[in-house]
Amino acid sequence: MSGELGIDLPRPKRPFKNGSPNSEGKDRPEFHFDFTGSNGFSRKAVEQWPIDGFADQEIGVDLGILASQAARPLSAAETDWVQLAAAIYAADRFANRRPGRAVGQTFWRRSIHLKVPVLDPTLWNKAMPSILSALSFLTDDDWTIHFIERRRRRGEEDQLHLHGGSNNQPAWVCLFSGGLDSLAGFKRLSSLPHTRGLLVSGWTHERLDLGQERIVSHLRATHCQPFEWLPVRYGFGKIVNSAGMESSQRSRGWIHVALGLAAVVASNRHTLDVGENGIGAFNLPTELSQTGSHTSRAMHPVFLRRIAQAASVVFDRELHVRQTAVFETKGELLSRTLRPSDSGLAALTFSCEIFPNYHSKQPQCGVCPSCLVRRASLHSSGIEGPEHLYSLDVKTQHIPAKKALGLIKMERFTRRLARGFHPMSAADSAMWEYPEAGSYFKEAADSISMNFDDFLTKLRRTHYNFVQEWEDFASNVPSLRQHRRSAA
């Protein structure tokens, strides 16, 4: 991959588990999906991998709730934009990076081919370069999309839907996942005087929807400023072939941001706000083995600008995704937006990597890196929540070695950050420590209209402050002393 700074890095190939060499001509698995069917989408069989075919797999997304928000029929561009997002999500889920499943090689990079119906293929072919640019950055895959003219209009393009909220257009539109950062984003925007806003959520299962609804109900009961909530359901009906579904789900970032941008257009606005902190936005690799999109790029400034550029072409209007906390740690973000009295509200949010954590009554596992960053940020901001919300509480319980992987990862991660972002290190030390991620720093600076030197200075300060937050929290984790040798 060649980046903005001209750094060329080879993509590592993982060996077969059985030790067999890579087969000649098999650079990466190929998946072919057709979304033009009336009863669902299909996948073509590819014997050489092997990839089984199937037909009539349902994929749904709630267009009606978007039409209700717009208080008008949706345009063809709006429905096609959302349906394309659903198709991208579906293809990603049904394109396993280990096509041989239990036997065979893991290929992080795939070739994914889509056939998608749209009302105006000329428009979508015009947007194709920016769509593929954003997609390849987000998932590390080679995508091709063949747009087919659809003959039938969708119901949401003709039917006038009743508006479920206020007739006033929102002053701001913000993504709301139910996590701490999205809560902080809401708190910042809702503090603006005399404004009404709109929160946009995507959900695929009941526990996520209920969790988001619980937080929204609390906010409505305790906040004077009115706001609306747009929870958009998407996902599959009965799954016809669940064998070998991909779990990494890098395309979730695409569909959530795409839904937010669709809500921006439906609300006649131009900007989508996201509340992600800078550590989560840049999401540098926690281990040397992680490259490219092994770490999620869903809130990376480069992806957000690229998908906004794609949407701008589709909707023929300038659209933006705004990040106001890109140079703040999670702890700094919470300190700026929440008060100690908000601890009960913060406790309703969820951060865990295995949420909804069906194997436990607690919503957070307590030991994954995301849970640990959550604990460190709450500790730093003085908004400590109840320990019983975690399956394992690292501050009060002994963490056995088999559950300590998250702690070890965090130790390794922060030590590496300390090397690359130390205040006394060279100005370009971060790019030497993280060459692949650093190859996009210039584009990231451009995406937020910032001088490159100023960008590097703020990036360094943010990440080194995060190291200090972790060190302060880690000193209160008794089990960590036992595991630090493993992280060395």
Q: In whole angstroms, what is the distance from residue 300 CA to residue 313 CA?
A: 20
Backbone angles phi and psi of 165, in degrees to 5: -125, -150
DSSP 8-state code for residue 422: -
Q: How do the pLDDT tens digits run along the chain, 488 residues long?
A: 333 332 233 333 333 232 223 333 358 899 999 999 988 999 999 988 888 999 999 999 999 999 999 999 999 999 999 999 999 999 999 999 888 766 667 888 999 999 999 999 999 999 999 999 999 999 999 999 999 999 999 999 987 665 555 556 899 999 999 999 999 999 999 988 878 999 999 999 888 899 999 999 999 998 878 899 999 999 998 898 777 789 888 999 999 999 999 999 999 999 999 999 999 999 998 776 677 778 899 999 999 999 999 999 999 999 999 999 999 999 999 999 999 889 999 999 998 887 766 566 677 899 999 999 999 999 999 987 776 788 888 888 888 888 888 999 999 999 999 999 998 888 788 888 898 899 999 999 999 999 999 999 999 999 999 999 999 999 888 777 665 655 55
Peptide bond before 356: cis, by omega within 30 degrees of 0? yes
Q: How far apart are CA 32 and CA 55, in angstroms?
A: 12
Question: What pLDDT is recorded for position 281?
Answer: 96
pLDDT given at position 11: 35
Output phi, psi for 44, to 5 deg: -80, 140
The residue extents of the domains of the chain are 30-160+247-323, 330-487
How high is the pLDDT of residue 168? 66
CA-derived radius of gyration, the chain: 23
Q: Which of 431, 485, 483, 436 shows the shortest CA–CA distance to 455?
A: 431
Q: Which residue has the tokens 């969708």?
A: 154
The pLDDT score that the predictor gives to residue 428 is 80
The CA-based angle 102-107-110, given to 5 degrees, is: 120
Closest alpha carbon to 65 in 210, 255, 266, 273: 266
Q: In the β-sheet with 227-235, what is the strand arrangement from edge to edge? A: 60-61, 227-235, 197-203, 172-175, 271-274, 320-323
